[in-house]
Structure formats: structure tokens, C-alpha cells
Amino acid sequence: MRIRTRWPKWTLALTAAALLGFGGAQKVTLTYLTHWPPDTVAKLQSAIDTYQQQHPDVTINVRAVPFGNLLSTLRSQATSPSGPTIAGIYMLWLPELVQNAIADPAPDTYTSDVQNNWPSGVAGSVTVGGKVYGYPNEIDLYALNYNKRLFAEAGIQGPPTTWDELVADAKALTKRDSSGAIVQQGFGIINSWPAGVVHPWLSLVASDGGQLLDGTTAQLTSKQAMAVTDLYHQLIFQDKVTDPAMGTANASTTGPYLQNFTNGQTAMIIMANWWESALRDGMGDSFSDVGTAPIPVGPDGTGPHPVSYTWLNMVNAHASDAQRAAAWSFLEWLDSPQSGQNGSSAMGDILLSMGILPSRTSDVQAHSDRLDTPFLAGYVSQLKNAVPFPAVLGGEELTNSLQQWLERMEFGKASAQEAMQGAQQDIAAILKRYY
Amino acid sequence: MRSRKIEHAWSAIMLSPGLGLILIFIVVPIVLTAWISLHQWSMYTPIRGMHFVGLANYRSIFGDPGFLQALRNTLAYAGLSILFIVPLALAFGMFLFQGTVAGKSALRTVLFIPYMIPTLAVAIIWSYLYSPLYGPLNQILGWVGLQRQAWLGSIDLAMISLVIFNVWQTVGYYTVLVIAGLTQIPIAYYEAAVIDGAGTLQRVAHITLPLLRRTLLFVVVIAVINTVQVFDPVYVLTQGGPAGATNVLSYQIYKSAFEYGLAGRASSMAFVLFVILVVAVAIVMRLLRADEGTE
Amino acid sequence: MKLSLGARRRRGPDPATTALQVLVMLIIGASALFPLFWMLASSLKTAQELQAAPPVWWSHHPTLSAFANVFRQLPFARMFLNSVVIAGGTTVGIVLTSIMAGYVFAKHRFRGRGLLFSLVLATMFLPPIVLLVPLYRLVQSMGLVDSYLGVMLPNIANAFGIFLMRQFIAGVPDELIDAARIDGASEWGILWRIVTPLLRPAIAALVVFAFVFHWNSFLWPLTVLQSDHMFTVVLGLNRLVSYTSAVRFQNVVMAGATISILPNIVLFLFLQRSFISGIAHTGTKG
């Protein structure tokens, strides 16, 4: 009687092959699309190298493009087979990506991860229709940047906290040459760059108790929007403390507006926290002259409210199941305290290396001493007052439209009234297309 | 004698690579552009996923201040460029063609070299020249007692700043075209005129200019085509600003498609541009043909 | 042969006119070269000198470090190779297809030849932006995104080359071709062995024109090429400007620009005579 059955060799071989094929890990290749500069990409790469050592079945390739090319790259490549699996995106682009089924909704474990470990406002900025679509990373907001040395020379104690003080200080800080041209402007405004024009303006509106949109209805002809536009008009044409020609930006978001501040030819300007590295580059030791303060409050405002916006990492819904699973898993690791130093995530470390604010609660705590430095403290203290830029469909287009109208007013081609009415009309038409 | 059929067969074979590529990569896209212009499309979906809207895009762009401004700016850019280029090319051409000083052909080469440089590089170099704080142009203005300008940052000067460096980059090319045209004019005409007692100015007015008409028209056609297409300097330097003063059609089309996700609208703008160009060139060609008839 | 429009060939030119002409030439030459001088001068300056206001015209401590920096910031050598492959490959494609098509339009007869030629010419007047979106999708559907072929193939479809070749070949005497036909040579043999050797100036002109144009092109490669290692020199320059946009990096950008224009200038200096005579033939003969 045969007790042991002798298995034919081929069934053993087949079983072994099956086990190796299915039980063993599938090799997955991911592409990570980012706008970060080469030095930062190097840091991301070393985090990726660590991850790949721990997960030999996953290969991650970084594709870096300049900021100006990021959205167009996304549009051209999102549905392509060789398109990015993970993309770092500006939250304003998310609604359209969700609508076109490009953004992958996060599986439940990751949704809880985001909702538990990020402030509710930030988690909300990556949520569309109740679903979470990515891991938030940087948060950016605006503050009044001022030159302490120029303030001291003009005998002014501290930065302005109201619009009246802003106007008065700007007048005291403006210097003109013999022909009447401004050589030092009290208050600078930016042009030729949509966010640079709209976000500081909107911060002043919010600090006057106003808003850009009420849900999906444009508020450009509201009292507060008109008030800020009138203020700009007054600063440029009546008080002559602002010279729009000194505020030009180029495609890399640097240029004359930055140079004029680093040279000490602009005394005050509202700008975002991430220009810190550009300021250090341009000012060297004089960087200690830079002070940051809350947005000056308007007559109808109850307190300063800077505009904020976030960036996030999303996963491409067109990628394969295996790729998406691997991508979410990688993002969870990248944003967790396990991946970085001293309780920070690798993402947090990378952001801080650029002087950019992380949004994850544990990262803010882990880097509290760096965030306490004079420059950043002025921003971090205002996070609680920040008003997120409205993430609506058509967001890019309406930002551009408002930029055009504000610039026309600044250069004298339209009155403040015409500018706001024109913007109201255009923005309402843009929103009507989607809502 | 060679059979017609064999010649036709060879015609087909020899034409097929060139014309085949033109058919696939030019004709098909033109048809596609027209087709896309009747739809709404964010480019995030395949072409099949487009949403048909008929002529809605065309109707909306003619009421869109952005498009109309881009149209005006493009015409202004082309017009201003031609206004400077034609007289300069004519003057340089005549200067380099006649005259007795050595080194004329070296100068012709020097004038031509900017044409060899990528427009992107030219734009970047000129942005440094135009830099309000660090550029030599404002420094030179200061030497002669003129006020410093914001150039690319000035709503009034941005367009002319772009025109200036376009003229710098291309005038050498058009000068060579003029010189070529001048070589076609028979010397006998001038000799006869001298015998008749005509002075220099009269000879230029009655012989040179009329006989150069075809060359000058050709220069204008090429210049129109080149300037209407302008993209690189706007993209890298001004992004259409300030306040849309340098927003040109190709940039508006690019922004609409790639940033706003309005590829249908962008295609309708592109198609309108195409039609305008065809009409403009047809008119100029008609003048060229009419000219030939009278010679 | 120099023709004097003033027809003053009896007496030599008087010194005043000569001096005036030299002055005008110097002014024109200086204006043409000044931006290039500034580019070169900037590439040799130090970071401090770049941030000096008013600007320094020539460095007190000229250094080549910016050039080394270019290669550190970007894989510039690889980008150079990419540009050579793309511009060179496109040029070869254009020359070959243009000679063939030009021969047919000049020397073959068939009904509708004139109309077809006009239609082909009409495509010359097409701004690339009109085709950009659908052309990208077409290339994408062929799987040619981020590849050399993806950039080159649409560019080989070039009406200007066909136009240029047709003009030149029209000048080849019919008798030459008929004699070869009587001798029993095929059309293919006639084209390549008899006609083409006579086209040397036209080919030189087309080579310079096509190579320079496609070396310099920006928008189409920007759209098609995605990976760093595929980028052309011009795209690299765009990157350089974006990532090193601070004033003190202007020397790096200008060094990149200097490197990017060298091949074109060298090619032009070698072939300029043919090139200019080639242009002459496009403009003035119907």
C-alpha cells in the first residue's frame, strides 16, 4: 500500500513558480512629478533611496519641471501611459483634476491618516465632495514684510497695524529724486504674476472683513473689494508712495519686485513666506533687516487675515492598481514621523530646507525652534487667522482675470470702479461656465 | 519617349515622403484643430471625451477682452516690427550693396549673426540689457541725461521693448533679402539714367525702389508670418504683462489650453489666427502677382 | 561685382565719404554686436560684479567658473548631444524629402501640379501654435512622446525646403535630363546622380537654414520632450533661467547661452556664401 504519493516533478516546479510569481512582490515603478529646484530634488531623492532600500520592489523616478511648466506638463501627461503616478500640485488645480477623474480618491486608511494628523482647514483643502484626494504638504501664507533699517531711519517705531498707519508710514518712507521719480517706495505691489497680484490684494480685503467669493458668487463689487482697490489707487496716484513699475515679476517669480526690496528701495511689501530663501540670497547679512508683521486691518475688519494656500501630493487615477497602492503607501511614509529626523517627516525636513512651512501638526511641533526664527515667526503666528484661497473650478482663469484688471488700474488704464466692475463681470462669466 | 505612366509613378514615389509627412503632421492637425474648436476639452480626457458645443467657442472669443487684446497686440507687434524692419533693411541693403569701403561683407555677416541665435537666448540677453537696476541701457540713458525706464515692466514700453529686440535679431536676414533683390537690377538701367542726367536720389526713387517692390513685398510677407507667430520672448520674459500689454495670440492660445484647460476655446482662437494669416498673405500675394503682370 | 548706385566710378571716393561710411559701419556693427558682447562679458563676471549697480562692463577678475557651473546644474553635455541629433536628423530628413519633392514639382508634369504646389506652399504660412494641441495628441497616440522621432517627424514635413529645391532644380537645363532619359537612366538615377550634384549651393543653404532653425526651436520640443536627459540645449537654457533666476546667477545663464549659440555660428561661418545665395534665390524668382 502506498502511503506517500510521489508528486511528479513538474507539479512541484509549477507550484514553486506560482508561489514565487504570486507570493513574491511585483516590481512597481512610480514617477513623482515635482516643481522643486535641483538641490531640493536631491533631498527628495535621498529620502526615496531610503524607501527603496526598505521596499526593494518599488522604484520611484523623480521628474522635476520648473514651476511655470508644472500645470502644462500635468495637462499633457496625466492620461499618458508614461505619465506621473504622483504629482505635487497646487490645491487650486484639484477640483478640475477630480472632475476629470485624474485624482485618485484616497483609500480609507490614508483618509483617516490625513484627517487625524492635519489641521481641519488643511485637510479640508485636499477634500472635494467629501473625499480626500491627497497628502497636504506645504502651506503658504502672506505677511507684511518691512525693512527695519529704513523704518529706524524714518523714525517709525513699528510696522503699521491699520490702513491709516500703512498710508502714513508709506508717506514717511518714500524718497524721490530731483525729477520727482520715486527712488525709494514706501509700499510695493507686484505685477506680471497672477498670485503675486491677487493674493496680497485679497489679504487686505480679508483683513477688511471681505471675501473674493461667497460660495460661487463673485464679490468684486463689494464694499471691501472696492475699498482695497481704492486704497491701491490712492497709494499710487494721490500719495505717490507706490510705483508699479518697480514691482514687475518674471516667469520664475523673481525679478525687479524682489530686487527692489533686497536693495532697500522698497520699504514694505506683502509677500509669502517662501521667498525667504530668495531674500537671503539677495541680501546676505542684511537679511536681519527684514521684519514680518500681520496684514494691516481695514476700517471694516476685525483683525488681520492673510490669504493661505496649500500644495498636496496626489495619485494618478489612471495608474495601475499596483502603482496606486504603492504610491499611497509611499506618500504615507514620506509624510510620517518615521521618515525624517527628530520626529519630523522627510517631507517636513525637505520643506524646511527651503524655508517653507509644513502643514502636518507633528512636523510643526518637530521644527518649532526653526519656525520660531524672527522671519518665520511673523507668518507662523498668523496661521490661525489665515483664510484659504477659494478652490473653485476656473480658479486659475479667474485669478488671471482679476490680475489683468488690477494691473490696468495700477497703470492708469482703468479707474478703481471700472476695474472692479470689469473683474466682477469677467469672473461671474467664468464661474457661470462651471456652476 | 518616357512613358507618362512611368513618370507619374515616379512622381508619386518621390512625392510621398515629403507630402505624406505634410499630410499626417500638418493637414490632419489643421482638421483636428477645427474639430476641437467645436468642443469643450480640458485635455485631461482623451479626444473622444470632448464635449460638443458647436460654434459657442467662436461666439465667446469675439466677446472676450483677452482674445481681442491679444489680437490687437499681435497686430501692433507685427506692424511696429515691419515699420522698423523694412526701412532699415532697405537702408542697410543699399548701404552694403554699393559703396567702396572694404569690410562690407564682414558687416553683412555681423548683421546676420543675431538671426542664428535661439530667440530664447536673445530674449534672455535683452532682459538683462533692459534690467532697470543692473542693465546697461538705463546706464547709457543716464549718461545722455535721459530718465531711466522700466522697459519690460512698463505698460507703455513693454511692447516696444519686444519690438526692438525682434528688429535687432532679424534685420540682418531681411537686409540679405534686399541685397539679393538689388543684384537683380540690371546696371544698364542706372547707366542710362546717368546719361540722362538723373541724380542719386532720382535714380533710387525711379529705378531702385520700383524694381525692388517684389523683394520688399516678399520681406513684408515673411516678416508678417514671423511676427504673428511670436511666442518665446513673451513666454520667458513678460508672460503677457504688464496688464496684458504684451499678451499676443500665440501666448493667449497656449495659456488657454495648458493653464485654463480650455483647449476647445484655444483651438478656435488658433483657427481664427490661421484664417487671418491666410487672408493677409493671399492679399499680399495677389499684389505680388499683379506686379508681375505689369512688368 | 560692386555696382555703385551713385555710379561714381571715374574718380575714387573722397575721404569724407569714406570716413562717413566707416563711421556708419562702426555704428551698425557695434549695435549688432553689443548684446553679444554683453552676453560674453556677463558670463565672465563674478557674482558681486553682477549685482553692482551701475553695471560693470568688463570684469576685473574674469573667470570661467560660470561655464563649469552650467555643466554642474544641468546635464548640458547630454543636452548638446540631443540638440545635435534632433537638429541634424531633422535636417537630413528635410534635405532628402525636399530634393525628391522639389524634383517632381520642377521637372515632372501632371494635372493639378500647380494647385498641389500652391497648397504645399500654403502650409508654410501656418503658425505652429495652431497645430500644437492636436499635433501633440497625434504624436502621443503614436507613442512618440519624449523621443527624438516625436520631435523630428513633424518637422521634416517642411514646405520651405520643397520650395527652395524646386526653385533651384527649375534652373537645371531640361536638355541634361532628357539626354539622360534617352540614355536609359531611371528617374531615381537621374535625380540622385545628375541633378543632385548640381544642387550643392541649395543644399548648403537648406542645411544651414534647417539646422539653425531646429537647433533654436523651443515650443515644440518643450511640449514633446519630458525627461531631463532628452532635453535640447534651448530647453536647458529655459531650465537654467528658471532655477537660477537670481541676479547673481546671470553669469551661469549667459554662459549657457554662449554655449548654445556656438554650433550655429560655426556652421554659418563655414557655409555663409552658399546660404546667402540660397536665400537670394527664394526671394526674387517667382
The domains found in chain B, sorted by start residue, are: 1-32 (no CATH), 37-294 (1.10.3720.10)
Å between B36 CA and nearest CA of chain A: 16
This model of the complex carries an ipTM of 0.83
Domain membership of residue C57 as a residue range: 7-64
Considering CB atoms only, which of A66, A80, A281 is closest to C242? A66
The listed CATH number (1.25.40.10, 3.20.20.450, 3.90.870.30, 3.40.190.10) that belongs to domain A9-139+308-371: 3.40.190.10
pLDDT tens by residue, chain B, 295 residues: 557 888 888 889 999 999 999 999 999 999 999 999 999 998 888 888 888 999 999 999 998 888 999 999 999 999 999 999 999 999 999 888 876 566 787 888 888 889 888 988 888 889 889 988 888 998 888 888 888 888 888 888 999 999 998 999 999 989 988 888 888 788 888 888 888 887 878 888 888 888 888 888 888 888 988 898 899 889 888 888 788 899 999 999 999 998 898 999 999 999 998 888 888 878 877 776 665 554 4
CA distances from B282 to A160, B221, C125 (A): 63, 10, 10
Considering CB atoms only, which of A80, A281, A282 is closest to C140? A80
Does C56 share its domain with C183?
no
Considering CB atoms only, which of A102, A192, A251 is closest to B242? A192
Does C106 share its domain with C144?
yes
Please name the residue of chain A whose CA is at the shortest distance from the CA of residue B237. A250
The sign of the CA dihedral B31, B32, B33, B38 is positive
Pairing outcome for strands A127-128 and A131-132: antiparallel
Rounded-to-integer distance, Cα C46 and Cα C62, Å: 7
Å between B30 CA and nearest CA of chain A: 19
Per-residue pLDDT tens digits for A120-145: 889 999 999 999 999 999 999 999 99
In this model, does residue C277 exceed pLDDT 80? no
Query: What is the identity of the amino acid at C123?
Result: T
Q: Do A77 and C226 touch (CB under 8 A)?
A: yes
> Which chain B residues contact residue C129 at CB under 8 A?
229, 231, 249-250, 253-254, 270, 273
Å between A41 CA and nearest CA of chain C: 12
CATH topology of domain A142-306+392-432: D-Maltodextrin-Binding Protein; domain 2 (3.40.190)
Q: Which of residues 44-83 of A touch C (CB under 8 A)?
A: 63-64, 66-69, 73, 76-77, 80, 82
Q: What is the pTM of this model?
A: 0.86
Q: How many inter-chain contacts (A to C, CB under 8 Å) are there?
A: 43
Q: Would you say residue C84 lies in a domain?
A: yes
Does C236 share its domain with C109?
yes
In this model, does residue C60 exceed pLDDT 70? yes
C37 falls in which pLDDT band (50, 70, 90)?
very high
Domain of residue C244, CATH code: 1.10.3720.10
Q: What is the pLDDT of residue A333?
A: 96
Last residue of a domain, one of C16, C44, C64: C64
DSSP alpha helix (H) spans, B131-248: 136-143, 158-183, 187-195, 200-203, 209-228, 232-233
Subunits with 3+ C-beta pairs closer than 8 A to B: A, C
Q: What is the pLDDT of residue C278?
A: 66
Å between B26 CA and nearest CA of chain A: 20
Q: Do A76 and C136 touch (CB under 8 A)?
A: yes
Residue stretches of chain A with pLDDT short of 70: 1-25
Considering CB atoms only, which of B101, B204, B270 is closest to C129? B270
Q: Which of residues 133-192 of A touch B (CB under 8 A)?
A: 179, 181, 191-192
Q: Would you say residue C1 lies in a domain?
A: no
Q: What is the pLDDT of residue A3?
A: 47
> Which chain B residues contact residue A245 at CB under 8 A?
132, 150, 153-154
Å between A382 CA and nearest CA of chain B: 31
**Nearest in space to C130 (alpha carbons), one of B48, B266, B21, B231:** B266
Q: Do B22 and C39 touch (CB under 8 A)?
A: no
Å between A42 CA and nearest CA of chain C: 12
Please name the residue of chain B whose CA is at the shortest distance from the CA of residue A409. B243
Does C55 share its domain with C182?
no
Q: Which of residues 134-173 of C touch A (CB under 8 A)?
A: 136, 140, 145-146
Q: Which of residues 46-105 of B touch C (CB under 8 A)?
A: 47, 92, 94-95, 97-101, 103-104
Q: Do C146 and A82 touch (CB under 8 A)?
A: yes
Sole residue written with cell 474648436 = B37
Tally of CA atoms within 13 A in the half-sphere of C180 that contains its CB: 16
> Which chain A residues contact residue B239 at CB under 8 A?
192-193, 250-251
Per-residue pLDDT tens digits for B155-213: 889 999 999 989 999 999 899 888 888 887 888 888 888 888 878 788 888 888 888 88
Q: Do C124 and B117 touch (CB under 8 A)?
A: no
Q: How many inter-chain contacts (A to B, CB under 8 Å) are there?
A: 96
Please indicate if any CB of chain B lies within 8 Å of the CB of A71: yes
Does C147 share its domain with C52?
no
Chain A interface, mutation test: which of C71, C133, C226, most A Cβ atoms within 10 Å?
A: C226
Radius of gyration of chain C (CA): 24
Domain total of chain C? 2
Considering CB atoms only, which of C98, C129, C265 is closest to B250? C129
Å between C128 CA and nearest CA of chain B: 7
Q: Would you say residue C2 lies in a domain?
A: no
Per-residue pLDDT tens digits for C133-171: 889 889 988 989 889 999 999 999 888 899 889 988 888
Helix axes A346-353, A38-54, angle to 10 degrees: 170
Does C85 share its domain with C151?
yes
Long-range contacts: C62-68, Cβ < 8 Å, 24+?
Answer: C66/C251, C66/C252, C66/C254, C66/C255, C67/C43, C67/C255, C67/C258, C67/C259
Subunits with 3+ C-beta pairs closer than 8 A to C: A, B
Q: Is A155 left (phi over 0), alpha (psi -120 to 50) or beta?
A: left
DSSP tag of A103:
B
Q: How crowded is residue C248: how many other Cβ atoms within 10 Å of its Cβ?
A: 16
Q: Which of residues 257-316 of A touch C (CB under 8 A)?
A: 259, 263, 278, 281-282
- Cell numbers describing residue C68: 563649469
Q: Would you say residue C179 lies in a domain?
A: yes
Query: What is the identity of the amino acid at C281?
Result: H
Does C41 share its domain with C102?
no
Q: What is the pLDDT of residue A17?
A: 52
Does residue A8 have a cis peptide bond before it, meaning omega lies within 30 degrees of 0? no
> Which chain C residues contact residue A255 at CB under 8 A?
245
Please name the residue of chain B whose CA is at the shortest distance from the CA of residue C245. B124
- Please answer whether residues C153 and B21 qualify as being in contact, where contact means their C-beta atoms are separated by less than 8 angstroms: yes
Of A366-380, C160-174, C184-198, C240-254, least confident by mean pLDDT is: C240-254
Does C37 share its domain with C131?
no
Share of chain C above pLDDT 70, in %: 91
Q: What is the pLDDT of residue B148?
A: 83
Please indicate if any CB of chain A lies within 8 Å of the CB of C238: yes
Q: Do A404 and B243 touch (CB under 8 A)?
A: yes
Q: Do A252 and C239 touch (CB under 8 A)?
A: no
Does C153 share its domain with C54?
no
Please name the residue of chain A whose CA is at the shortest distance from the CA of residue B56. A433
DSSP tag of C194:
I
Does C98 share its domain with C229?
yes
Considering CB atoms only, which of C53, C73, C136 is closest to A38? C73
Does C47 share its domain with C127?
no
Q: Domain extents for chain A?
A: 9-139+308-371, 142-306+392-432
Q: Which residues of B touch A (CB under 8 A)?
A: 42-46, 65-66, 127, 131-134, 147-148, 150, 152-155, 235-239, 241-244, 254-255, 257-262
- Please answer whether residues A147 and A264 qualify as being in contact, where contact means their C-beta atoms are separated by less than 8 angstroms: yes
- Cell numbers describing residue A55: 521596499
Does C22 share its domain with C104?
no
Please indicate if any CB of chain A lies within 8 Å of the CB of C34: no
Burial A271-310 (b: 16+ CB within 10 A, else e): bbbbbbebbbbbbeeeeebbbbbbbbbbeebeebbbbbbb
Q: What are phi and psi of A88, to 5 degrees?
A: -85, 115
Rounded-to-integer distance, Cα B51 and Cα B46, Å: 11
